[in-house]
């Protein structure tokens, strides 16, 4: 079974923080694991539901910051899409 620690994560693009609540599954596809999370910021330009889901594979992917493309782990210059923040006291 896949694992991902609940807690605060930082997104690479905008230095915004998200609270990961845990993992879930697609009700129509038991093999599709998703990360359930909520933004820890308010954005008046993006009203609507606050909860979000993203596949575990996509959430933990490596990306090229310049192209924003998903790349293999170990690619020079690549960063994680989301990075766990162990001490999130300043995140909110």
Q: Where are the domains of the chain?
A: 7-84
The per-residue pLDDT for 91 is 52
Does the pLDDT value for residue 90 go beyond 70? no
Cβ atoms < 10 Å from Cβ of 61: 18
- 1 band by pLDDT with thresholds 50, 70 and 90: low
- Tokens 């996509």 -> residue: 58
**Rounded CA gap, 33 and 12, in Å?**
22
Tokens coding 53: 């889901």
This prediction has a pTM of 0.84
**Rounded CA gap, 7 and 81, in Å?**
15
The phi, psi pair for 59, rounded to 5°, reads: -60, -40
Domain 7-84 has CATH 1.10.10.10: no
pLDDT, one tens digit per residue, over 18-70 is 999 999 998 999 899 999 999 998 777 777 778 999 999 999 999 999 999 99
**Rounded CA gap, 38 and 71, in Å?**
25
- Tokens 């162990």 -> residue: 86
């Amino acid at each position: 079974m896949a694992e991902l620690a609940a807690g605060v994560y930082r997104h690479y693009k905008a230095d915004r923080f998200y609270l990961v609540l845990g993992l879930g599954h697609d009700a129509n596809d038991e093999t599709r694991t998703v990360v359930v999370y909520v933004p820890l910021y308010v954005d008046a330009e993006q009203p609507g539901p606050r909860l979000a889901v993203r596949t575990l594979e996509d959430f933990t992917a490596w990306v090229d910051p310049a192209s924003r493309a998903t790349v293999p782990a170990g690619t020079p210059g690549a960063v994680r899409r989301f990075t766990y923040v162990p001490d999130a006291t300043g995140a909110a």
